Amino acid sequence: MMTESQPQRGGDRRLGVAIALAATLALSGYAWGPADDNPARAWLASVADPGCTAGGAVTNRQTPPMLYRALASCVRAQHYQDGVLLFARAGSYSWYDALRVDSDEAREAHSLLLAETLKSVDKRRRQAFWMVAKATLADKQGHQAICQRIQAIGKPAYLPDYLSSFATAGALTRPLDDEAMWKTAIAGYMHCPTDVLVIR
């Protein structure tokens, strides 16, 4: 199994802390004020709501803002299990983007998108979804099934244009289709084994 590597400037550690912070803020119902200058709101608003995208409708051309908007729709519709896959995919993709767009802002986007998404739904459904997500991912078979789905769909096939406001000149310097970087992302975010053969 691959050993998790560190993106530049300690990004993996920051992302791990950020995901916990995002969950805490979202579950508490914390609201970003206008002065907080939260770009995640603009990213989410820039894409059409795809509805609760489930199963085979999820593709590797969907950006994290698209996936997170679909997640919010699933939570509102109380389709929590569909939301778990979207949560895992969106987080893995935004982690991958934070690796290939090597900036502090890109790493922060990983947590901002999740927090903004979850605070857009009511507290009762938000907490119910989080309970299902934690139970699914804590279960060995449930976690394995999610990892297999993520690996079967594959690494992102889009350019991270939604992060263009953060990508200063020369920031996109890493290979955009690097397989090792993708393995780092899914191992770092979802703790998925990366030495498993996936049959498509």
pLDDT tens figures, 144-179: 999 999 999 999 998 887 876 445 545 455 555 588
User: Is 70 exceeded by the pLDDT of residue 7?
Assistant: no
**Sequence-distant (≥ 6) Cβ neighbours of residue 172 within 8 angstroms:** 100, 101, 160
pLDDT of residue 151: 93
Contact between residue 89 and residue 150 where contact means Cβ atoms under 8 Å apart: yes
pLDDT tens figures, 88-104: 999 999 999 888 877 77
pLDDT of residue 73: 95
* Chain mean position to CA 176: 17
The pLDDT > 90 percentage for the chain reads 44
DSSP string, 67-104: HHHHHHHHHHTT-HHHHHHHHHHHHHHHHHHHHHS-SH
pLDDT of residue 109: 79
User: Is 80 exceeded by the pLDDT of residue 106?
Assistant: no
pLDDT tens figures, 183-192: 999 999 999 9
139 DSSP 8-state letter: S
pLDDT of residue 70: 94
- Indicate the pTM of the whole model: 0.78
CA atoms within a 13 Å half-sphere pointing along the CA-CB vector of 166 = 21
pLDDT tens figures, 32-51: 444 356 778 888 888 888 89
Q: What is the mean pLDDT of the chain?
A: 77
pLDDT of residue 80: 95
pLDDT of residue 84: 95
Q: Which range has the worst mean pLDDT, 108-112, 138-142, 152-156? A: 108-112
Of 76, 75, 77, residue with least CA distance to 85: 75
Contact between residue 97 and residue 163 where contact means Cβ atoms under 8 Å apart: yes
- What integer is the mean pLDDT of 60-69? 93
Rounded CA separation 11/129 (Å): 27
pLDDT of residue 56: 67
60 DSSP 8-state letter: T
